[in-house]
Amino acid sequence: MNHIFPRHTKARPPIAAKGDGAYIIDTSGKRYLDGSGGAAVSCLGHSDPDVINAIKGQADQIAFAHTGFFTSEPAERLADRLVAHAPKGIDRVYLVSGGSEAVEAALKLARQYFLERGEPQRTRFIARRQSYHGNTLGALSTGGNAWRREPFAPLMIDTSHISPCYDYRGREDGETPEAYGQRVADELEGELQRLGPETVIAFVAEPVVGATAGAVPAVPGYFKRIREICDRHGILLILDEVMCGMGRTGTLFACEQDDVTPDIVTIAKGLGAGYQPVGAMLCSSAIYAAIEAGSGFFQHGHTYIGHPMACAAADVVVQKLTDGGMTDRAARMGDVLNTALHDAFGQHPNVGDIRGRGMFRGLELVADRDTKEPFGPGLGLHKALKAAAFEAGLICYPMGGTIDGRRGDHVLLAPPFIVTEDQIGELMDKLSTAM
C-alpha cells in the first residue's frame, strides 16, 4: 500500500536505504551521487561518524525535555557556538525545527519588536520577487515565487515585492554591476515611499537566492545600500540563510561576503546536515532588549523547539564547519566545482550563466545564449533534466522559475563539502550525460 502523500510526481520514488559519504544507495543497490545535498542540506555527507555518535550519545542521556520546563546542555552549547561565529551584534538564538519555522519566528519577532516599541501601525513586509522563504502561510506570503503563491492567494501577511538583484537578466546594456546593484536596491526606497515607511516592519531577502533562482548572489554593494535604506527608515533587515547559510557559500554566514549585518538571520538545512530537523533564528541584542523591556518574552513557541537530539547533532555540525575546517573546504572545493562547470559548460549553447559561491552553484538553461531567451514553460526542461540525471545516478536540483515575467530553467548544485576532486569529475560526467 502507498499511504504517503506523493511529492511533485505521482510516480513512487525509489526507497533510500543507506548513506555512504557523498552517495545515497536505494533498496535495489543503485548508487546516486548527491550533487545537491538533498536541497543544500547534507553538507557533511550521509555517514558522518561524529554526528551519528552525538545523536546516539544524546539519546542515551535525554531525548526530549519540554522547553516550557527545561533547557538542555546541547541547546546551550549550540547557541553559544552559533553566537561565537555569528555576525557582530547578533547574540540571541531561538532554536526551531526547520527553515519555514525559522522564517515564521523571524516575522513574528520583528512584528513583536515594533509592538513593544509602541508602533502597531507597522504591519507590512517588503521582500523580493523570485525568492523562497518557506511553505507555511506566513513564509509563503513573504516569498516572491508566483507559482507557489497564487494557488493560496489571498495570503496572510501584507507583503509587497521588489526586483531581485539578478544581474544576468536585470542589468541593462552598458550598466556596471555596481550601478545596477544601486539601482535595484533603490527600488526599496521607492517601495517604502509608496507604502509609507512608518507602516513597514522589515525587508526580507536571501543573500544568495537558492531554490527559485539557482544560486544567485547579489552584486557587490547591493546589500550595503539595502542596509542604509533600512537604517534611514528604522525598518529591520531580515536575511534568510536557510539555504545559503552554514558554510554553503564558503563562509559560515553568507552575508559575511556582502559585508552586511542583519537584525535577524534565519538558518536551517545545513545546520542539521540532514541528521536532524533543526533550524534557528538569530537576532541582535537590540531587538531582544526591546522584547525584554516590554512584555518580557517572545510570544511564540512550538513543542519541538530546541530538541536535545537535534541540538546535539547541530552542535557537532557547527563545530565541524568552524574549528573542523569544513567551511574552508567548501570554499576550496567550491572553486574546483566552479572551474569544472566553466570547463564543461562555459561554451554550451544552452547554458546562459554559471554563478554562485562556494559549494552553491547554479547553471541557467536558455534556448539562446546570446539573446538569453529562456526555454518555454511547456517544455518542462528542468523536470526532464532532473529525471535524466537521476537515471544516470546523479541527484541535482533543477527548477523552473519566473524571473520578472520570463519563465526560466536552472540547475542548482550543492554537493556535500566532503566531495573529492574525483567525485566532482563524476558529477560533471553525469551532468553532461543528462544535459
Binding site for ligand PMP (CB under 6 A): 39, 98-100, 103, 132-134, 206, 210-211, 240, 242-243, 268
Q: DSSP for 22-79?
A: TEEEETT--EEEETTHHHHT-TT-S--HHHHHHHHHHHHH-S---TTT---HHHHHHH
Q: Which residue is nearest to ligand PMP (CB)?
A: 99
Cβ closest to ligand PMP, residue 78 vs residue 105: 105
Q: How far is the CB of 242 from ligand PMP (least distance, A)?
A: 3
Contacts 24+ apart (CB under 8 A), 80-83: 81/315, 81/318, 81/319, 81/322, 82/267, 82/280, 82/282, 82/318, 83/282
Cβ closest to ligand PMP, residue 51 vs residue 344: 51
Cβ closest to ligand PMP, residue 211 vs residue 394: 211
Q: How far is the CB of 212 from ligand PMP (least distance, A)?
A: 8
On the CB side of 223, CA atoms within 13 Å amount to: 21
Cβ closest to ligand PMP, residue 188 vs residue 211: 211
With residue 328 as reference, give the H or E element that holds it: helix 326-345
Q: DSSP for 268-279?
A: -GGGTTTTS--E
- Residue 384: helix, strand or coil by DSSP? helix
Q: How far is the CB of 141 from ligand PMP (least distance, A)?
A: 13
Cβ closest to ligand PMP, residue 192 vs residue 281: 281
Q: How far is the CB of 315 from ligand PMP (least distance, A)?
A: 19
Q: Is 248 exposed, middle or buried (0-12, 13-18, 19+ CB in 10 A)?
A: buried
Q: How far is the CB of 134 from ligand PMP (least distance, A)?
A: 4
Q: How far is the CB of 243 from ligand PMP (least distance, A)?
A: 3
Q: How far is the CB of 99 from ligand PMP (least distance, A)?
A: 2
Query: In this structure, how many other beta carbons lie within 10 angstroms of the beta carbon of residue 342?
Result: 12
C-alpha to C-alpha distances, 62 to 7, 73, 74, 226, 273, nearest whole angstrom:
33, 10, 10, 44, 21
Cβ closest to ligand PMP, residue 211 vs residue 395: 211
DSSP summary character for residue 13: P
Cβ closest to ligand PMP, residue 287 vs residue 412: 412
Q: How far is the CB of 192 from ligand PMP (least distance, A)?
A: 23
Q: DSSP for 342-371?
A: HHHHTT-TTEEEEEEETTEEEEEEEEETTT
User: What are the two backbone dihedrals, phi and then psi, of residue 367, each rounded to the nearest 5 degrees?
Assistant: -75, -30
Cβ closest to ligand PMP, residue 235 vs residue 243: 243
